Amino acid sequence: MELEGLKRALKELTDHGVVVTEVVTDRHPQVRKYFRTEQPDVDHLFDAWHVAKGHHDGHSELYRTCQHGQLQPRKWIYPGTDAYDKLRSIVSTKRLLDDIRQVSPNFQTSGVESFHAIINRFAPKALSFSSAGMEARHPPAQILRLLIQMLLKTCSTVQATKYLRRPVLRAQTLGSLAIVRTMCHCGVKEWRSQPMQAKYAMGNVELAAAIVFTGCSPMQIIRFLQNAGICCFCERTFHRLQALYLLPAVDQVWKKQQVALLEAMKASGTGAKLAGDSRADSPGHCAKFGTYSLLDTTLNKIVDVKLVEAGGQVFLNRLTGASIQHAKSFDVYSCALSKH
């Protein structure tokens, strides 16, 4: 999934006129082969942390301390000792030497890792989501500040008249919406606690948005509100609101932000410097979905996110950007990826 996500993300940039010259990734073998065979003009570099990680620090539960005696302070390891032979076998490995030659001297993939840490709040790996749910839970950092503003109306006090004698009140709730109907000799009057959008109360939309944009589990939140005696919609209504309002809102804002970002990248006149890495959206190596993200290291902003489904490789995050389809192309100076 990592290679597929990278291909789709790079194709998205190419379709918008972006020329990639450098990519920094981790040491993924498939990504390495892809750049070597299919993208020879792109300078493929490795993230330094992915090359240096694996350092042993500390001891296991079985051996809480080292078994050797007191070590004397010295600068050198003498040839012929076990420590020398072990160190030499590690540092002289052909793959490590080849990887060191490709270590990125400047940009790394740490910004992509930080972005994936934000995704963990919206799409915890311990939970399973549908394709639409996974797409909704992959908003860029700008979506964190997205709020649906609900207009509030003030209900005027009903003045008693000679025609209003012991009115009959009927109250009902639709999710978080309260509806009160007053029936008397003057007729039937209705008061709603929330404004409506089509047939849905804006309070229900806002509550559903709060669940999605905070990364909470809808089942747990709904069960909590029901146990607390707070009026709330059912899970079916939540998914309906998510499909009708929240997913289009997230997609619209992300497209607008991406178009503006790509325009700024092309207007800068300098080559884009990118960093990319993938994220499995469930624990272990049996992930159903994979996310590949590309970060502009100069602006420190995500420029593209691709969601890939294992097996079918369903492309869920299509970003058309009609306003920049005919824009002039510009060069990408560097691109940092993980060592795939």
Q: What is the pLDDT of residue 60?
A: 66
pLDDT of residue 84: 84
Q: How far is residue 51's CA from residue 340's CA, in Å, rounded to a whole number?
A: 11
Per-residue confidence (pLDDT) for residue 139, from 0 to 100: 56
The CA angle 308-114-54, to the nearest 5 degrees, is: 90
Q: How many CB atoms lie within 10 A of CB 235?
A: 13
**Of 235, 229, 179, 227, residue with least CA distance to 207:** 235
Per-residue pLDDT of the chain (340 residues; tens, 9 = 90+): 788 888 888 888 888 888 888 888 887 888 888 888 888 888 888 887 777 766 555 666 676 777 777 777 777 788 888 888 888 888 888 878 877 877 887 777 777 777 777 677 677 777 777 777 776 666 543 344 333 333 333 334 444 444 444 555 666 778 888 777 766 666 677 777 788 877 888 888 889 999 988 888 888 888 888 776 677 888 898 999 998 888 888 888 888 888 888 888 887 777 778 888 887 766 655 667 778 888 888 888 888 888 777 664 433 333 223 223 333 344 555 656 556 5
Query: What pLDDT score does 154 carry?
Result: 32
Quote the radius of gyration of the chain (alpha carbons, Å): 28
What is the pLDDT, as a whole number, of residue 334?
A: 62
List Cβ neighbours of 275 (8 Å cut-off, separation of 6 or more). Answer: 23, 24, 47, 107, 108, 109, 111, 112, 294, 295, 297, 335, 336, 337
Phi and psi at residue 35, in whole multiples of 5°? Answer: -70, -35
For residue 44, the model assigns a pLDDT of 84
Please report the pLDDT score of residue 323 as a whole number.
Answer: 29
Name the residue with tokens 């590690």. Answer: 90
The pTM for the full model equals 0.50
What is the pLDDT at residue 178?
76
Report residue 241 as tokens: 């609101």
The neighbouring-strand residues paired with 294 are: 276, 304
Listed residue (238, 275, 271) closest to 130, CA to CA: 238
Domain ranges of the chain: 2-52+94-150+201-339
CA 90 from centroid of its chain's CA atoms:
36
Which residues lie across from 200 on neighbouring strands? 197
Three-state SS for the chain is: CHHHHHHHHHHHHHHCCEECCEEEEECCHHHHHHHHHCCCCCEEEECHHHHHCCCCCCCCCCCCCCCCCCCCCCCCCCCCCHHHHHHHHHHCCHHHHHHHHCECCCCCCHHHHHHHHHHHHHCCCCCCCCHHHHHHCCCCHHHHHCCCCCCCCCCCCCCCCCCCCCCEEEEEEECCEEEEEEEECCEEEEEECCCEECCEEHHHHHHHHHHHHCCCCHHHHHHHHHHCCCCCCCHHHHHHHHHHHHHHHHHHHHHHHHHHHHHHHHHCCCCCEEEEEEEECCCCCCCCEEEEEEEECCCCEEEEEEEEECCCCCECCCCCCHHHCCCCCEECCEEEEEEC
Give residue 81's pLDDT: 86
pLDDT score at 337: 57
Structure tokens at 32: 């390495």
Cβ–Cβ under 8 Å, residues 122 and 291: no
Asked if residues 149 and 171 have their Cβ atoms less than 8 Å apart, the reply is no
